[in-house]
Amino acid sequence: MLKPSDLILLYHGEKAKYLLTLPQTGKFSTHKGDIDLTRILGKEYGDAIKSHTGDVFYILKPTLADMAMKVRRTTTIVYPKDAGMMLLRTAVFPGAKVIEVGSGSGALTLILANFVRPEGRVYSYEVRKEFLENAKANVRRFGLEQWVEFVEADVEKQGFLHKEADAIFIDLPEPWGVINWAHQTLKGGHSLVSLSPNVEQIKKTKSVLELEGFTRIRVVELLERELLVRLTGTRPKERMISHTAYLIFAQKINKVNESK
């Protein structure tokens, strides 16, 4: 039974969907009429409710992708298609200690938090205070704050406070500035990933990764294309997001080893 502070997706279609935290009482205005939220308390996910105009909304369970796409943005966010690949090509698991730098808007933070809980932690570093506060608010909104430790720090200058990270996620305009620190902090043989929109950033990141002792450096991009299945016919959607970021993956080589 839904109760105050539960998170719901009010859904009337992709163009009329609303992610909200249930209050004790109140009214919610949509493009398809107002909804009395008090009437949702006691219902279940999957139930329907009508707005005052008679339009039907479904009360759906929000997915992680919904949350990530709906964070209040101070920066470009990490898209679900990219975050999904990042989970599978690094060591993320319940109990993992992972590092993120910077926090950005917290979209990736909450995805990571979801998958490392309950024993693991996300250590999320951010140098810009207002971004940090926004990311914190976003993670708190979705109830994942207890698995995230935010650190206000300039990693390029100071490095990381934490050690033996299972994975490191870099989302910085100049990722190369933190790679030596990442090498110190990441577990041997484990993976980091950095995302950047531009080819030049990827090239410079790759060079520094090679210098600092990483191997298996691979760059990919993912394209997500929607297929419209309608009575009038089936075809790819006419427009798509063509580019979000390149992802560069690398695995750490220990500095002292047999190859010397």
Looking at residues 81 to 120 of the shown chain, list those that interact with a second copy (rule: CB under 8 A): 81, 83-91, 93-95, 111, 114-115, 117-118
Q: Least Å distance between CB 72 and a second copy?
A: 19
Q: Are 127 and 145 in contact (CB under 8 A)?
A: no
Residue 174 contacts a second copy per CB under 8 A: no
CB atoms under 10 Å from CB of 217, counted, come to: 15
CA distance 237 to 106: 29
User: Is-contact 97 162, C-beta < 8 A?
Assistant: yes
Chain positions 225 to 244 lying near a second copy, rule: CB under 8 A, are 225-229, 232-244
Per-residue interface string for the shown chain with a second copy, residues 193-212, x marking contact by CB under 8 A: ----xxxxxxx--x------
Q: CB-side exposure of 116: number of CA atoms within 13 Å?
A: 28
Three-class SS state of 254: coil
Total residues interacting with a second copy, rule: CB under 8 A: 87
What is the x/- site pattern for a second copy, positions 12-51, by CB under 8 A?
A: --x-----------------------------xxxxxxx-
What is the nearest approach in angstroms of a second copy to the Cβ of residue 206?
Answer: 5
Identify which of residues 36 and 133 has a Cβ nearer to a second copy in the complex: 36
Contact pick of 68, 112, 148, 170 for a second copy (by CB under 8 A):
68
Please say which residue, 132 or 252, places its beta carbon nearer to a second copy: 252
Q: Identify the H or E element spanning 121.
A: strand 121-126
Residue pointed to by tokens 């909450």: 110
Q: Residue-wise over 43-82: b if at least 16 C-beta within 10 A, else e?
A: eeeeeebebeeebebbbbebebebbbebbeebbebbbbeb
Please, what is the minimum distance in Å from the beta carbon of residue 104 to a second copy? 17
CB of 129 to a second copy, least distance (A): 25
Q: Dihedral through CA 159, CA 165, CA 171, CA 174, nearest 10?
A: 40
Nearer to a second copy, 29 or 254 (CB): 254
For residue 123, the minimal CB distance to a second copy (Å) is 18
Closer by beta carbon to a second copy, 129 or else 233 = 233
